Structure 1
C-alpha cells in the first residue's frame, strides 16, 4: 500500500490535509494488523479442523467428528443435568489415543 502524496506547497491547509491522510493511513494499517492478530486463533482452528481426520487416520474425519458430537449429545442428554458431562469428556479424551492406535494397526 502506497502512502499519500505530500504536497509541494507551504499552504497550511494543504499540509493539514496531507497530515490527516497520513494519520488515516496509519490507523488503517494498525487496524489491519490488530485484526490479523485477533483472527489468528480462528485461522488455526480452521486449519486444525481440516486436519482432524488426517490426525486420527480416518477418512471423512469431519463427518466422524460431527457424528461423535451428535452421539455425545444423545448420550449426555440426561448426563448434563446430573453433572456427568465432565466425566464423559475425560473418558472420551483418554480413549482417543487408543482408537488412534487401533486404527493405525488396522492398516
Structure 2
C-alpha cells in the first residue's frame, strides 16, 4: 500500500485521515507478522515431515505407517473370546489386510535396477 503524501498545506481533516491510514497500515502489518509467527511451528513440522520422508527415500510413507499400525493392532490386540482359533484368525486377517501393501512393495523392488 502506498503511503499518503503529507504536504505542508493539508487541512486538519486531511491530516487526520492520513494519520488514520498510517495507523491502519501499521495494524495490518502487525497482524500479518503475528500470524506468520503463529504459523511458524506448523510450517516447521510440515517441513520436517517432508524432509524425513525424502531423506529415507520412502515413497509411500503414509501407507507404510498404516501397515505398521495395523500390524501392531493385530499383534497386540485382544482376540475374540474362544479357544486357540483366535490366534489363527488374527494371522489370517493380518495376511489379507496386508496383501495390497506386500504387492506394492514387491512391485517397487522389481522396478529398481
Report the TM range for the smaller structure's normalisation.
0.5 to 0.7
Q: 1:18 to 1:63 in 2, by over 3 A?
A: same
Structure 2, unmatched stretches of 5+, are 79-113
State the SS of the aligned residue for 2:59: coil
Q: Provide, for residues 51-91 of structure 1, a one-character-per-residue CA deviation record: whole Å limited to 9, x for no partner.
A: 2323445332232234334555666777xxxxxxxxxxxxx
Q: 1:49 to 1:39 in 2, by over 3 A?
A: same
Normalising by structure 1, report the TM-score: 0.55
Find the structure with the greater CA-based Rg.
2
- Aligned match of 1:26: 26
Aligned alpha-carbon RMSD (Å): 2.6
Please state how far the C-alpha of 1:15 moved relative to its aligned partner: 0.3
Q: 2 CA distance for matches of 1:67 and 1:14?
A: 67
- Aligned match of 1:63: 63
Structure 1, unmatched stretches of 5+, are 79-107
